Structure 1
């Protein structure tokens, strides 16, 4: 695991903190934006592109190898993410939703790959860009299919609601659709990856410090506990990484459906 140990005075250990998310440019004196997270994001995108190319460039009647994996991923996204929200429109948006799911999953898994060990979504800019892209498509679809007035009317209309109550309800639902939904989309992914990375770094640094830097009979127990917790948290992270990619794609499908159908 990526371990950061800070020494403020001889023999003193300090837990890793926000320094885990601060990166200098890869090329000294080069572009400030070309950092490790950017390189990992590009690597993840290249891996997804390579997987899809290997799976679907020359499909066979009986899928094998990469095609089997690609078709499994496609079927999962179609049946578990696209169709429940988009219904008959699911196939039209499968390219986008499959790309979102696989890209976020690849970015997340970078956090447990040796020598890389940084989940891209733990850097808030990356999930923000994806969420803003989905948000823009949602609004564009709503305006295109229903017009500005029709789209807004579809969002605020609630059958059976008294007229006087719309003064309270309308601002709340409009804020949820146009403000809150954007933030909840990317913050959920970012917060989980950020916290998971901190926890893994914390326990791995405990193990490294007490087993290698300051090995003592009493400290050995703490070091072993740190190693054990690192393994447990990493296993939990694998599950959370998949779950967060799934939830991010599910929300994307729901937002696309809201634009298409003109409803909140």
Structure 2
């Protein structure tokens, strides 16, 4: 009855290409429609999100109640505390559909990390964070280009007025790297790293609980400690689930605002 500890095996989840037995439809059109576990989690959470909003607004009432009331409160949070706080009322309403999609998509794809039998965030692998960061990046460039034209927008974003000409040789590459490369990269990596790390920590804590419990000696008491740590970390993950969705949508709004006022660099 002695327990044995096995390090968590992450390869099938994060590098599924070498584990074809765990992939559905990997032989369809050269693997373009292959579905591994994380892709199935993404599709499931997306379906839940869409169905909840359909149910909430299928028969909208003038005085909302129930699910419609919850959905309207959630949308008002994004509208007031992200879109309008950063962009103002006019531009906030203009970009609200994008910011709401990013916020709720990120939130629901994160929630799966604490759902039993799913146990992993759909954002724990870099693919979805890249898509979300790409949407934010396109919106940022679109906002600036729409207002100034592409050439003037890029120039306003990179060239700081009244600098000595020689300093532009140093400042322009720094501004280009910071504005057009670092912003989307940090958005994607921040989101992925938080939930990859969280997944690994929870796997280790629950694996340690199983290991210590089945020692059936003095070490068994340690299983209570690791289980408590796992529960507390799960509570912490609930906070991070919301916080990362909020930060991602908020930074998207900030980057759009910077593009809309690139000439006041």
Residue 247 (structure 1) aligns with: 247
Q: How does 1:1-264 map to 2 (within 5 A)?
A: 12-16=4-8, 18-19=10-11, 21-23=14-16, 24-26=22-24, 31=31, 33-87=34-88, 88-211=90-213, 214-262=214-262
Unpaired stretches in structure 1, ≥5 consecutive residues: 1-9
> CA separation in 2, counterparts of 1:21 and 1:253?
30
| Displacement after TM superposition at 1:260 (Å) | 3.2
| Displacement after TM superposition at 1:27 (Å) | 5.7
Q: TM-score, normalised by structure 1?
A: 0.88
Q: TM-score, normalised by structure 2?
A: 0.87
| Displacement after TM superposition at 1:217 (Å) | 1.9
- Alpha-carbon contact 2:3-2:210 (below 8 Å) kept: no
CA deviation string 1:100-157 (max 9, x = no partner): 1111110100011111111011011111111112212322332233122211222124
- Alpha-carbon contact 1:97-1:253 (below 8 Å) kept: yes
Judge which range, 62-71 or 140-149, deviates more. Answer: 140-149
> CA separation in 2, counterparts of 1:149 and 1:95?
27
Structure 2 CA distance for partners of 1:27 and 1:204, relative to 1, 3 Å: farther
User: Once superposed, what is the RMSD of the aligned Cα atoms?
Assistant: 2.1
Residue 19 (structure 2) aligns with: none
> CA separation in 2, counterparts of 1:21 and 1:157?
41
| Displacement after TM superposition at 1:22 (Å) | 4.4
- Alpha-carbon contact 1:17-1:198 (below 8 Å) kept: no
> CA separation in 2, counterparts of 1:193 and 1:37?
13
> CA separation in 1, counterparts of 2:142 and 2:58?
31
> CA separation in 2, counterparts of 1:72 and 1:215?
49
Structure 2 CA distance for partners of 1:26 and 1:205, relative to 1, 3 Å: farther
Judge which range, 103-112 or 45-54, deviates more. Answer: 45-54
Unpaired stretches in structure 2, ≥5 consecutive residues: 17-21
| Displacement after TM superposition at 1:17 (Å) | 5.0
- Alpha-carbon contact 2:3-2:211 (below 8 Å) kept: no
| Displacement after TM superposition at 1:193 (Å) | 0.4
CA deviation string 1:44-76 (max 9, x = no partner): 111221222222232212110111111111111
- Alpha-carbon contact 2:156-2:262 (below 8 Å) kept: yes
